[in-house]
Chains A and B, each alone.
Chain A
Amino acid sequence: MHIRARGPTQGYDRGWSLVRVIIIGAGQVGSSIAADLDETHEVVVIDCDPERVDELNYSLDVLALHGDGTSVDTLEEAGVERADMVIASTDDDETNIVACATAKAISNAFTIARVKNTEYLRTWQRSEKAFGIDFMVCTNLLAAESIVRVVGLPAARDVDPFAGGQVQMAEFEVDEESPVANQTVSEADRFDSLTFAAILRDGEVTIPRGDSVIGPGDRVVVIGSPKSVQGFASSVSPDEPPGTAEEVVIVGGSEIGYHVARLLEERGFKPRLIEHDAERARELAEMLPGTIVMESDATDVDFLEREYIGDADLLVSALDSDEKNLLVSLLAARLGVERTVAVIDTTPYVDLFEAVGVDVGVSPREVVAEEITRFTREGGAENVALIESNKAEVLEIEVDADSVLAGKPIRESVASLPEGVVIGAITRRREFITPRGDTVIEPGDHVVVFVDSCVIDDVAPNL
């Protein structure tokens, strides 16, 4: 488990001057963080590819510089001494660590490093602040956690925990066969502690009312207690009751594949893992006592049939190449696997692969970008989940006395906020409270809110 640290406090509430963020590495992760922050922060991006730098300078309202992010000169040119935060997100672990250490040596910025190797994460966890890094995110581990959450909740496309696990946000796709399809929200909502936050249709976010109809192909975002979310999951697809995904097959013994197997073991599953490299398979077998490791090529149809892979409830494809993951997932679906999850490195492929037949695509880069973005949010939101690449956000907030929510029944406080805000769940002293119109929110409560991106800038500071 990665450690959840609080973001830097000195960066917020600085009145007119904006929080200055330096991002080292303008790859998929760096660019997507920059795109997310450019409107609300002063962003400087450093990359060693001059063409990419040029492109960023025109496409985003950021200052992109060409240079080596580990060199003091470049960092000074980027104004590191005035920076509030330095994010190292190149594809190379060592570069990221050195860049953060360098930034720390010459400034007081809060440093965030992205690493792939869990070894570095372990070192950092043993003594926080090791390498001069204030927060470390591990791509592989985050991706694995994200996959495992989906495993636990069939039919869900995305699951995020809030309030220390007391609250869950989940996004479900409702297909034609689902009993929920063509029902109104009030018909579908048979659970006490569940809030329907949004319906996503053709990329548009709508806030549902009781009489809104859930159409086939819609995606529904719900917030509630884990139990009610699970209950809703089984009403979305009664054929796959939660927790019955007993047969899990993982293809590919990459770092992500290994972590998925390890985390599933911890949860009492007995997954099978297919790895074609003999040495790696042996190594994995030693590290994963609760997993059946098989040494074979996952595209070998004879092998798959012999092992009845088609009977599996879920197959996770975590090979090193996107194309192979697509191939394996499609093959598995053809053999009869109920749900396929594929690791997709190239973020823009996610939609494409899902359209072709992969049930859930998980992009490690997107997961990491989301995690890093959480840290840079203004207004002290503790936990953030992004929906449909930024169409909306789910925020967890600890309500203080100044908040517009404090001390008033929800009916009144919501009326004073613009449309597009839904109070999803409340926890008070670690107790779950279902928000109703007359519920009065007290200072100190944790509130999970769904906010449409159009109004986020107006709403977030007032909460």
Chain B
Amino acid sequence: MKLRVDYRASLRLVGTVLKYLAVPLCFPLVVALYYGESVLPFVVTMAVTVLVGTALERLADEPDIGAREGFLMVAVTWLAVTIVGAIPFLIEAHGIPFVASPLHPESTLGNPVNALFETMSGFTTTGATVLGDISFNSHTRGIMMWRQLTQWLGGMGIVVLAVAILPELSVGGAQLMDAEAPGPGIEKLTPRIAETARALWGAYLGLTVLEIVLLYGLHVTGNAPNMDVYNAIAHGLTTMPTGGFSPEARSIEAFSAAAQWVIVPFMVAAGTNFALFWHVLTGEPKRLFRDTEFKSYLGVIGVVSAILAGVLFLGDGLMSVAPAGETYDQLYLEGIRTAIIGNVEPAVRQSVFQVVSIVTTTGYASIDFNAWSAPAQYALLFAMFIGGSGGSTGGAVKIVRWYVIVKSLRRELFTTAHPEAVRPVRLAGRAVDERAIRGIYAFTLLYLVLFFVSTGLLHLDAARIGFDVSILETMSAVAATLGNVGPGFGVAGPMGSYLDFSNGSKLYMVVLMWVGRLEILPVLVIFTPEYWRR
């Protein structure tokens, strides 16, 4: 049978991207050198990327990328960088036989499944972790920085970055970016796609640098004692991609209130359509506040935060007794109850921080929200499905899709009463194409189906190995990995880890993260026989 997809062309481009992965690997290498740690994990990985990348590049001369090849290239690229990106973790835990002894044999990432999970969680900016001990006792600083950097690379998109800097991707680049970029369809900002990609990455880089400077500024002025240069960079690298990894075991709870407030606006920015920043920078700042999606996005964050702030302030949003076997104890619970109940600033801060973190799918936590009462947790579970804006670095369903769905449902109601009415669905004054609406429904339905089916499967698997999780915890774990949010509730909570799930469940969640980051269809399509057939 002759295949209709020119997979060689796709793999060739994957090779190019893989080859260039050696460049960002220099950064953790420099960090390791600075702290006098072994550079072996990074040197070996760089060699592998260059070798495998160059080998794949030999598959085809001049890649001619169509829509089909584009899907394959993007899906495989994400899988390939994940596999290669896991190598440093494995070397840290195992060393290299007969050559080098392990740096940290106790690392949980010595299990290849865990290493894959952590790397996929990194590149897809999920932020779910399977690290046992998150500290520099079990991991080198270089390795922890690589973990942060995977999120930064994945945030704006590896393929978008490739389109920005590799001229051979300019033809067909729009296809590739469309398959990778979050949200329905991409917005070309300039005639040439490479320039659009560069504009997006420029805004992304600029905001990242600004955040690092501000966070370190707090440290220098004495407002954030433990936000040293390492932490400022580490968190700068995972805020703008809506990542959520932190080298601190207590996530952002480890930092001062001032640092938490500084991070909030950057999370909000990360969940905004980056095209809007481009308009602001090119002299049309008004477009930011005219944008329907941006207004809805701020509205949703505002309403959910206000409700949660209210219940936290009154104390209804917090547990009163810590149950046995939780990730927090009675002492911790009483501590946060005295800090929050009746105090405006902590109540507002904890509510806003958590809501923004979950809606944008960042996954930072400034509090162990397992200690929140069930209604407050359900509000967060609901928020996991909202997602950031289209064209942002956020995951999940995205505001723009919900907006179109709500508008088209209202149209259905209207046309039930007035069957003859012709009413286009409008988004920012422009009519939305009916085919696009159908696509949005298909995506959202698929997302929800995948959510329910996966919850069932994971719950069954947990029962099989006798792992005690509630259905809410399983649901949160699926929503958090499929939506690239990160932490769920219970064992998978913000201060917990996914370590205790079975290897099978973890591999399944690796797929969920992969599928969730690329918005399901571009990945699922390559598993259909029609895709490959002539």
> A residues bordering B, Cβ < 8 Å?
18, 20, 39, 42-44, 50-51, 54, 57-58, 61-64
Once the chains bind, are A42 and B174 in contact (CB under 8 Å)?
no
Once the chains bind, are A57 and B188 in contact (CB under 8 Å)?
yes
**24 pairs, CB–CB < 8 Å, chain A vs chain B:** A20-B191, A39-B170, A39-B171, A42-B191, A42-B192, A43-B191, A44-B191, A51-B433, A54-B433, A57-B188, A58-B174, A58-B175, A58-B178, A61-B170, A61-B171, A61-B173, A61-B174, A61-B191, A61-B192, A61-B193, A61-B194, A63-B188, A63-B189, A63-B191
The CA-CA distance from A187 to B64 in the complex, in Å, is: 40
Contact of A57 among B67, B171, B174, B433 (CB under 8 A): B174
Chain A, residue nearest B196 (CB): A63
B137 within 8 A of A: no
Chain A, residue nearest B173 (CB): A61
* Inter-chain contacts of B173 with A (CB < 8 A): 61
The CA-CA distance from A162 to B178 in the complex, in Å, is: 45
Contact of B433 among A43, A50, A62 (CB under 8 A): A50
Chain B, residue nearest A41 (CB): B191
* Inter-chain contacts of A51 with B (CB < 8 A): 433
User: Chain B 175-188, CB within 8 Å of chain A: the 1/0 string?
Assistant: 10010000000001
User: Chain B 42-70, CB within 8 Å of chain A: the 1/0 string?
Assistant: 00000000000000000000000001000
The CA-CA distance from A62 to B193 in the complex, in Å, is: 8
Once the chains bind, are A62 and B191 in contact (CB under 8 Å)?
yes
* Inter-chain contacts of B174 with A (CB < 8 A): 57-58, 61
* Inter-chain contacts of A43 with B (CB < 8 A): 191
* Inter-chain contacts of B194 with A (CB < 8 A): 61
**Shortest beta-carbon distance, A169 to chain B, in Å?**
29
- The count of residues in chain B whose C-beta lies closer than 8 Å to any C-beta of chain A is 15
* Inter-chain contacts of B193 with A (CB < 8 A): 61
* Inter-chain contacts of A44 with B (CB < 8 A): 191
> B residues bordering A, Cβ < 8 Å?
67, 170-171, 173-175, 178, 188-194, 433
* Inter-chain contacts of A63 with B (CB < 8 A): 188-192
* Inter-chain contacts of A58 with B (CB < 8 A): 67, 174-175, 178
Chain A, residue nearest B171 (CB): A61
**Shortest beta-carbon distance, B404 to chain A, in Å?**
16
The 7 closest A-B pairs by CB, nearest first: A63-B191, A42-B191, A63-B188, A58-B174, A61-B170, A43-B191, A44-B191
- Tell me the number of A-to-B contacts counted with CB atoms below 8 Å: 33
Residue of A39, A58, A62 with most chain B CB atoms under a 10 A cut-off: A58
The CA-CA distance from A44 to B191 in the complex, in Å, is: 6
* Inter-chain contacts of B170 with A (CB < 8 A): 39, 61
* Inter-chain contacts of B191 with A (CB < 8 A): 20, 42-44, 61-63
* Inter-chain contacts of A64 with B (CB < 8 A): 188
**Shortest beta-carbon distance, B286 to chain A, in Å?**
15
The CA-CA distance from A144 to B173 in the complex, in Å, is: 40
* Inter-chain contacts of B178 with A (CB < 8 A): 58
The CA-CA distance from A50 to B194 in the complex, in Å, is: 23
The CA-CA distance from A139 to B194 in the complex, in Å, is: 35
* Inter-chain contacts of A54 with B (CB < 8 A): 433
Chain B, residue nearest A42 (CB): B191
Chain B, residue nearest A34 (CB): B191
**Shortest beta-carbon distance, A347 to chain B, in Å?**
21
**Shortest beta-carbon distance, A188 to chain B, in Å?**
34
Chain A, residue nearest B178 (CB): A58
The CA-CA distance from A39 to B173 in the complex, in Å, is: 13
**Given contacts A39-B171, A58-B178, A62-B191, could you give 19 more A-B pairs where the C-beta distance is less than 8 Å?**
A18-B192, A39-B170, A42-B190, A42-B191, A42-B192, A43-B191, A44-B191, A50-B433, A51-B433, A57-B174, A57-B188, A61-B173, A61-B174, A61-B193, A63-B189, A63-B190, A63-B191, A63-B192, A64-B188
**Shortest beta-carbon distance, B428 to chain A, in Å?**
13
**Shortest beta-carbon distance, A460 to chain B, in Å?**
18
The CA-CA distance from A64 to B455 in the complex, in Å, is: 42
The CA-CA distance from A63 to B171 in the complex, in Å, is: 13
* Inter-chain contacts of A42 with B (CB < 8 A): 190-192
The CA-CA distance from A136 to B173 in the complex, in Å, is: 34
**Shortest beta-carbon distance, A143 to chain B, in Å?**
30
Chain B, residue nearest A21 (CB): B191
* Inter-chain contacts of A20 with B (CB < 8 A): 191
The CA-CA distance from A103 to B193 in the complex, in Å, is: 25
**Shortest beta-carbon distance, A177 to chain B, in Å?**
38
**Shortest beta-carbon distance, B87 to chain A, in Å?**
35
The CA-CA distance from A95 to B191 in the complex, in Å, is: 24
The CA-CA distance from A447 to B452 in the complex, in Å, is: 71
**Shortest beta-carbon distance, B62 to chain A, in Å?**
10
The CA-CA distance from A203 to B74 in the complex, in Å, is: 32
The CA-CA distance from A323 to B129 in the complex, in Å, is: 66
**Shortest beta-carbon distance, A122 to chain B, in Å?**
35
**Shortest beta-carbon distance, A84 to chain B, in Å?**
12
The CA-CA distance from A58 to B179 in the complex, in Å, is: 11
The CA-CA distance from A57 to B175 in the complex, in Å, is: 9
